[in-house]
Every structure is written in C-alpha cells, then in structure tokens.
Structure 1
C-alpha cells in the first residue's frame, strides 16, 4: 500500500521504509535536495555548452556537435533517472540523502571531464557517470527490499543498470569508430532498461511532480543560456567596439529566451501526462525532453558565437553562425510542439504555428539579421498562442 503524502511538519527520523509514494498525493513539490541536484547538474550543462561554443568557433562543427550530444546524454540521463525515481520513492531520510549526494558527486565528476571528452577522452565522464548510476542501483536495491509490490521492477532496474555500467567501462577500450558505435548501442540499452522494467509493474511517479521537475530543469538551462550570452556581450562591450551591434544582439537574444520560456510553459506538462496515462506517453514525453534541454543549452552557445561574429572575434561565416542559433531554436520549437501541443491539437493556430515557425526560423539563417528575425518569429508565435487561446479555460 503506497503511503500518503509526507506532512510538512513530520517527526525528524534518520530512517524511513522506502515505500512507493501515492500518485494522488496532494501538494507534491520539489524538495531542497532535488533543487540542489539540479543546481549541481547545470554546472555540467554549462561546461558542455561552453565547449560546444569553442568547437563551433574553431570550425569543428561536426565533431563539436557530436561530442556535445554524447556528453549531454550522460548529464540528461543521470538527471532523468534520479528525478523519476525520486518521484516514486523519495523518503528524504539519511540513507536516501547520502545516496543522492553521491549521485551529485558523480554528476560533478562528469562536469569535470567535459573538456577531455571534447578532445576524445571520455574516461573522466564515464567514471562520474558510472558513479552516479551505481548510486542509483543502491536506491533500487533498497526499494526492492522494502517495497514488495514493485520488487521485480526494482530488481530489474538494479540488474539492468549494473550490466550497462560494466559495458560503459568496457567501451573505453574500443578504438575510434568501434567506440562510437558502442556508444550508440549502449544508449539504446540504457533507454530500454526503464521501458522493460516498467512493463513488469509500473512505478508510482507523480505527474504534477514530474512536470514540475522538468519545468525547473528547463528554467535552469534557459538561465544558463542567458548567462552565457550575457558574459559574451559583456566581453564584447569591454572592447568599446561594435557597441550598437552587440546591444541589438543582446536585446534579440533576450527576446528569444523569453519567448522560449513562454512557449514551453504555456501548456502544462502534467496535463499531457495525465491525458495520455500510458507507458508510451510517459516515456516519449520524458525521453523527448533530451531535445528540449539540449537545444536550449545549444542556443546559449550559438548566441555566444553570434557575439563573437559581430565583434569580429571569429573566422566562421555569417550563415554558419546563424545556423548555430536557428537550428537549436527550430529543434526546441518542434520538440515543444510534439510533447506539449500535438499536431492534432484542437487549437489549429498553435498546432500549425509551431512547425511553421520552425521552418521560418531555419529559412531566416540565409537572410539578413538572422538572430533578430528568429527573435521576431518566436515573439510572433507567442502572440499567436496568446491570441488563439484567449478566453479558453486554463489547462489543468
């Protein structure tokens, strides 16, 4: 029997039995420990975005984007698995906190290895990743012992995660192309573990809590984007040259980030999760956010690159610079459309508006002032969304 909501004024104890939390629990919100987890993981996001910016600026777009995608998977997958486990089994006792802090240490180790990963050496990233994943195994084993109703699922998670971690370590010995192929094979295995485990007996994750967790991480990634762009503009202004162009670019970047925030949060994520109420819906929604998170982070790298272009500190072309912003923005818009809006949404202006805006954003790459035009397109999409939904009931 799942226990009820943990009261705000509960007796402090160092240990509680790890039982599934109720999906109908009222006022379920993120805990300070979860917020600390997010804050530490955004360090790794910032490192990945910074290295992507450097790679693009040096003309290594292919290898830079690939390295960013690979490193971001380690960051995102560690965060995702912690968040869904916590939604179902968070006891907030001493053993749980210690295991979570070990996972945070693993995430920070991943952050420390980002620079080496972009040079082709993933040893530190793998060490940190394996540490945070094995700490998660300890949590699953505890759940298996103390929650009989989900024992088979918890053991499947524990065994599956452990096997894949052994394979991640073995992959380090693979050279070149074999190592790259091994990476994608292991990604598939990682993604399959939760699917196969949840088919046995679903865990009691909380829709509102999960939607809030994803929303908070989206906010943090957008905040990192603003910080990156602001620092780049600050450096450009310090030179005393091209001030007009840089201020204009800063305004466009700010409008763009504001629009991305508006479009993501206009439709609450929990509504989609509750309506779908299926393993496919929850998995596609949860997994699909890889594109939203990584695209939002990449926008920051692109804006930094645009600052360098306007201040003549980079040698790459204007079109390449524009694509570093427009491609992730287009990916963000299409991902939000698929996960929050849906092609069959009854409100046709927004159902059609998102993909149209994505196409126009990509087209803007080849015209004048592409970043500014992209910001205008995003702002217009916000205006369409507000106008089309005016007078409708608030989505629940």
Structure 2
C-alpha cells in the first residue's frame, strides 16, 4: 500500500516551540558563538572560508533536528534532541582547536577529526529520526547522507585534504538542496513501489506475497511553527552577539567613549532585530508571509544568521579599541557584513514581492552602497565613529519601514508552490 499522508490545514493545531526545542537552539547558537575564534585572528580568504565551512556544518546539523521536531510535533522524542545537542556541543568545543590548527598556527590535528566524527554522527542520527517511510516534501536533503561521504573519507586524509573533502561534502549538500524536490522523490518512490506490487510481476521463488507493501508517507512542515523557530534562532544569535559586545566592554577601560561605543553597537544589533523580526518574517528582513517556498526561506535564513553572527566579531573589536581606526580586515568585515545583510534583505523583498522599484533602489543605495563606501573610504575614521555611522544607517531603514510597512500578521491560509513541490511559509 502506498499513500501520501498530509494533514489538512484545518486539522493542524497551532503550537509553539517547546522548552526542549529552545534548549536545543541555545546549544546550536553556542556553536555559532564559538566561530568567533575563526575570525578573531588576521582576516584572509582562508579564515573566511573556514568560517563559512564550519558555520554551514553547524547549521545543517541544527536544521536536521529542527525539521524533525517540526514534523514530529507531539511525538518528538526529547532523547533524540538531547543526543543531537551533545553532538552539536562536541562540534562547538572543537572549533577553537580546528581554527588554531588550520589557520597557520600548527598544533594538534585531532580537533579536526573530532569535529568531523561529531558532524557525521549528528547528521546520520538526525536523518534516522524520521518515522519509517516518511518523505519530507519541503527539505528532503536532511534525510539523505550523500554529502557525508567526503567527510568519512577525510578521517584518513591529511589536514589540507580534509578541508577540501569537507568543502566537497557541504557543497554536495547545498547542491542537493537546490536540485532535490521532495514531491518528485515521493512520486518516484510511489511509482517504484507500485510497479513492485504490479500483478504482472511474479514473486521471487520462496517469497510469499501477502498483497501488501511498504507504506510511504509524504510529510510537510508546520509553516507557523517553522517561522517561529527560524525567528527565534535569529533572535538568539543576536542575543549572543550582544553577549560578546558586553564581554568585550567588561575588559575595556571605562570612559565616555566606551559608553558611546556600546550604545551604538546595541542600537545596531537592536535595529537588525527590528528589521528581521518586527518588520520581517521568520527572522528574514522584508519577507512577507506566504510569498516564498520553505526551501528558499531556509536557504536565506542560513545566510542571514551567518551574516548576523559575523557582525559581532568586529563590534567586539571596536569596543575594545574604539578610539583607534579599525585595521583593514576588521573594517571590511564590519562594513561588508552590514552590506551583505541588506543585500539579503533586497533579495528577500524582491522574491516575496514586498519591495517596489523605488523602495528597492533606496535599500540598495543606503543599505548596500553606503556601508561599502565606508569600508573603502573610512580608513582614518575611528572604529567608534564607524559603528555610529552604521547604526544610523540601520535606524534610517527602521524609520523607513515603520512609515511605509505595517507590522505583518500571519494570514489565515497558505499558498503551495506547485512548481517546486513545496509549501510556502504562511
């Protein structure tokens, strides 16, 4: 018997993130915070590449368990989440050792194997958490382990080859995210099992045919719960960024300049919260409910959280040395991250049809061009002044959104993306 089991919309009961899910998110964000060790040294292409690679590995592991608990709802096994938390904790604990070894400082290479083993175990265990026969229609890559094959091979490779294999594995997963359609996978499995049960096929010798076959279910995410989890994750990442700024302020010399720097840093981070959560949706700036497929929302969420987590590193550097101009790598990291955030906001606004041409031009000029010009020209400007300029840019966008965009309320229905075979966020 082959059937597709999708609950009708009216049968779904609105639910919110459980305490166990929030606990799980906090551990995942601890891993994101550990990535500050990667960008804390001299910024170059190797550091940025390693940061992106480790962040994607942590995010994919978090997404696997997040989607499992989203679909399983009341049947979520807390023990599975706890095991996933332990795996993410091991990955986070090994990040400083990985950064120290890879970025030219030498040292023990065992943290690389620890990170790889923890990642493999976490992804495999998470992919096996699904109910037997369930096919996730929205983001099927979390159920498959093809991208883990290069990670397995890396356990026996030397240091530089390891990183190449890790990148190949993550790249394969990203490719599968783009090309895999859950609905198409389900249809192929359905066709295969139907053909196996065809009366024309003679059973193999010694095999009894009882007229039944495996049951395959096509399952979809709970959009309201998913949007809440994505938004909460962005909020927790922003909170962790505030913690890093506060920690840096605690080690700095107390004066008026320090107060001004911390206020400007807080305003910048709080402004990102407003754009992503208050005037955005699912933690994504300028997103409107029901406009883009789940797969696209998850991809944009990965990029937005990565950029937001990056901003905390140069902000902490400014708090510690606010009166001095930032070094080139710190200035470009800060200005480039802010420009990248607004670039993703423009993409989200255009994709969700919430941005007309004048608004898009305004966001490009003030949100993207202005930070990049600061990165190019503000070589002699103190880090403190640079943060104030960027905070003013964010505040201007908040003022603009408050005047022109009403705070969004979740609509009562959802529109399926038939071409992609996935649901849109509500």
TM-score range, shorter chain: 0.7 to 0.9
Which has the higher Rg, Structure 1 or Structure 2? 2
2:185 corresponds, among 182, 194, 200, to 200
Q: Secondary structure at the match of 2:221?
A: coil
Could you list the per-position Cα deviations for residues 110-129 of structure 1 after superposition, in whole angstroms to 9, with x for gaps in the alignment?
01110121122421211221
After superposition, residues 6-85 of structure 1 pair within 5 angstroms as 24=10, 25-49=12-36, 51-55=37-41, 59-85=42-68
Could you list the per-position Cα deviations for residues 200-236 of structure 1 after superposition, in whole angstroms to 9, with x for gaps in the alignment?
2353102111111110000000001001011101210
Residue 402 (structure 2) pairs with residue 377 (structure 1):
no
Residue 379 (structure 2) pairs with residue 358 (structure 1):
no
Greater share of residues in helix: 1
Paired with 2:140 and 2:306, the residues of 1 have a C-alpha distance of: 31
Determine if contact 1:102/1:131 at 8 Å carries over to the other structure.
no
Change (3 A) 1:43 1:343: closer
Paired with 1:67 and 1:156, the residues of 2 have a C-alpha distance of: 22
Could you list the per-position Cα deviations for residues 299-348 of structure 1 after superposition, in whole angstroms to 9, with x for gaps in the alignment?
11110111233266xxx954433222111111112213322554853555
Paired with 2:248 and 2:231, the residues of 1 have a C-alpha distance of: 26
Change (3 A) 1:256 1:92: same
Instruction: Using the TM superposition, give the Cα deviation of residue 75 of structure 1 relative to its aligned residue in structure 2, in angstroms.
Output: 1.1
1:112 corresponds, among 80, 93, 97, to 93
Count of residue correspondences = 353
Q: Which consecutive residues of structure 2, in runs of 5 or more, have no partner in the other structure?
A: 103-108, 187-217, 412-426
Q: Which consecutive residues of structure 1, in runs of 5 or more, have no partner in the other structure?
A: 1-18
Q: CA RMSD in A?
A: 2.9
Paired with 2:82 and 2:246, the residues of 1 have a C-alpha distance of: 31
Paired with 1:154 and 1:378, the residues of 2 have a C-alpha distance of: 32
After superposition, residues 172-251 of structure 1 pair within 5 angstroms as 172-175=155-158, 178-193=161-176, 195-196=179-180, 198=182, 199-201=184-186, 203-237=219-253, 240=254, 243-251=255-263
Could you list the per-position Cα deviations for residues 278-305 of structure 1 after superposition, in whole angstroms to 9, with x for gaps in the alignment?
xxx3222211222111111111111011
Could you list the per-position Cα deviations for residues 128-148 of structure 1 after superposition, in whole angstroms to 9, with x for gaps in the alignment?
2112112113213xx125x5x
Determine if contact 2:154/2:162 at 8 Å carries over to the other structure.
yes
1:165 corresponds, among 128, 145, 148, to 148
Paired with 1:164 and 1:221, the residues of 2 have a C-alpha distance of: 26
Change (3 A) 1:306 1:155: closer
Change (3 A) 1:171 1:373: same
Q: Which residue number corresponds to residue 113 of structure 2?
A: 123
1:303 corresponds, among 310, 315, 324, to 315
Q: Which residue number corresponds to residue 337 of structure 1?
A: 346
TM-score with structure 2 length normalisation?
0.74
Paired with 1:393 and 1:156, the residues of 2 have a C-alpha distance of: 30
1:268 corresponds, among 278, 281, 286, to 281
Paired with 1:275 and 1:137, the residues of 2 have a C-alpha distance of: 28
Which structure is higher in RCO with an 8 Å CA cutoff and minimum separation 6?
2
Could you list the per-position Cα deviations for residues 257-286 of structure 1 after superposition, in whole angstroms to 9, with x for gaps in the alignment?
11101111213249746233xxxx322221
Paired with 2:408 and 2:336, the residues of 1 have a C-alpha distance of: 33
2:83 corresponds, among 89, 93, 102, to 102
Q: Secondary structure at the match of 2:14?
A: coil
TM-score with structure 1 length normalisation?
0.80
Change (3 A) 1:152 1:303: closer
